[in-house]
Amino acid sequence: MRRALVDLAPLRSSRAFRRLWVGQTLSGFGGQMTVVAVMFQVWQSTHSTTWTGAVALAQAVPLIVLGLFAGAVVDRVDRRMFYVAMTAGQAASSVVLAVQAFVGGVPVVGVVLLVAVQSCFVAGGGPASKTFVPALLPPEQLAAGLALRRISFQGALLAGPALAGLVLGWLGAGACYAIDAVSFAGTLYGACQLPSITVPGAAAARSGLRGVRDGVDFLVRTPLVRGALLTDLATTVLSMPISLFPLINAERFGDDPRTLGLFLSAIAVGGLVASLFSGTFTRLPRPGLVVLGGSATWGLALALFGLAPGRWWGLACLVLAGAADTVSVVSRSTVVQTHTPHELLGRVGAAEQIVGQAGPDLGNLRGGVVADATSGVTALVSGGVLCVVAVVLVGAATPKLWRGTGGAADADASGGTGESGGSDRPDGSAAASLPGGSDGSGAPGGRGAPGGVTAQR
């Protein structure tokens, strides 16, 4: 049973990791409060779903457009200092959001632009944070560190919106933004305690479009990393169910708002349970095979949800889907970060962030279009079946993913990345600069969207 539970070794072995993880966990709750507060403020001002959709667009576009360029910068500079600067920018954006809410009279377009500005800082901070765990934790603790990061995500997703609702009803949107701004203090403190993280040969790494091309070339040439990202992208594009929940609730469960509210909570509960028992899969020797299994289970669970005979069976399927999603995401990140050279982690982390943002957005769009042409149940069940088919096809086309062989070495053997750097640790991974010796650790991950963690994977 002890081995089945989440592995707390990273928290016990490193004060720096522990401080940063606690700070980012608290900040995740503050971020969820801002996500809800922005949607509430925009809706109250406009009563328009077009404007609430514009908020999601303002969050996604900077991540997609700036992500790879920010990743190239991350690979050339001190990653800790860059992350601190990006986090400070997010905190400042939350302060401005709080001021405009308390003062009032700001046009809705101004609120949306503030969200977009904050997302620009997230586009830089996300790739930087993804480099910390593989650089500063021993390889045997990598999966455990990523699972701890997932617990933060699921905990904030489960409890943050409920807390936001209480604060909104009592003190208003400005208080939510202010709490979010204050919550960044823990993240900044933990980040400032990290050692300097500079990749050997970073100054010689190529910048701009050439640096981005080096990262894309690596992704194309590396079967394990490419297969893991393609699996996640295909899964979310084909079967993301969030946009279908209101229609499914109306078609299958009597349009009861209480049932609709339980749908997202059920997914979060499944993810949290899987995170707490992450020792059952983080210790397995072939994480690529776990990615494929988790993704296929996600699709199957959603198809069964569309066919469930009653609401409790449906909620049970969503709990299973949430658990499978967490298994897949943690294992995907383990594959990607284990098989990426340290000098490319910023760019590959940016690609992972883009997949995590664009995939769900496109998937929700696909679901809505198919549902308009057919029905919610048809869109959901067909998406789940297509997801399983896509996972099987990716696995068949990428045998190294489920065999657990290959990776960064394959790319190096095929011509490298066009950059200097390499492995100078005894275990074969690239070394970071760790002044002071043994207590360095990394962030369990950045905040996934402007103002906090969203449904991003």
CATH number of the CATH domain containing 156: 1.20.1250.20
For residue 261, the model assigns a pLDDT of 67
Indicate if 164 and 281 belong to the same structural domain.
Answer: no
Domain of residue 185 covers: 1-198+432-457
Cβ atoms of residues 328 and 298 within 8 Å: yes
The DSSP element (H or E) to which 27 belongs, if any, is: helix 15-46
pLDDT digits (tens, 9 = 90+) for 330-389: 999 889 888 888 778 888 888 888 888 778 878 887 888 888 888 889 999 999 999 999
Weakly modelled stretches of the chain, pLDDT under 50: 202-204, 406-456
For residue 355, the model assigns a pLDDT of 85
Indicate if 225 and 148 belong to the same structural domain.
Answer: no
Indicate if 425 and 438 belong to the same structural domain.
Answer: no
Q: Map tokens 């001190």 to a residue.
A: 78
Indicate if 288 and 191 belong to the same structural domain.
Answer: no
For residue 208, the model assigns a pLDDT of 62
Indicate if 294 and 236 belong to the same structural domain.
Answer: yes
SS3 assignment, position 17: helix
Distances in Å between the Cα of 284 and the Cα atoms of 140, 197, 238, 287, 288 are 11, 29, 27, 7, 10
For residue 227, the model assigns a pLDDT of 93
For residue 247, the model assigns a pLDDT of 84
Q: Return the structure tokens found at 457.
A: 């994977």
Q: Map tokens 């809800």 to a residue.
A: 36
For residue 205, the model assigns a pLDDT of 55
How many CB atoms are located within 10 Å of the residue 4 CB?
12
Indicate if 215 and 323 belong to the same structural domain.
Answer: yes
Name the CA radius of gyration of the chain, rounded. Answer: 21
Cβ atoms of residues 129 and 305 within 8 Å: no
Indicate if 330 and 425 belong to the same structural domain.
Answer: yes
For residue 113, the model assigns a pLDDT of 96
Rounded distance between C-alpha atoms, residue 152 and residue 29, angstroms = 9
Closest CA to 350 of 82, 154, 93, 171: 82
Indicate if 404 and 318 belong to the same structural domain.
Answer: yes
| Amino acid in position 200 | P
Residue 378 burial (10 A CB sphere; 0-12, 13-18, 19+): middle
Domains: count for the chain: 2
For residue 59, the model assigns a pLDDT of 85
For residue 179, the model assigns a pLDDT of 95
Q: Map tokens 């328009």 to a residue.
A: 48
pLDDT digits (tens, 9 = 90+) for 184-239: 998 898 888 887 777 665 444 555 677 677 778 888 888 889 999 999 998 989 99
Rounded distance between C-alpha atoms, residue 416 and residue 439, angstroms = 32
For residue 323, the model assigns a pLDDT of 95
Indicate if 290 and 315 belong to the same structural domain.
Answer: yes
Indicate if 243 and 322 belong to the same structural domain.
Answer: yes
Rounded distance between C-alpha atoms, residue 147 and residue 442, angstroms = 13
Indicate if 213 and 357 belong to the same structural domain.
Answer: yes
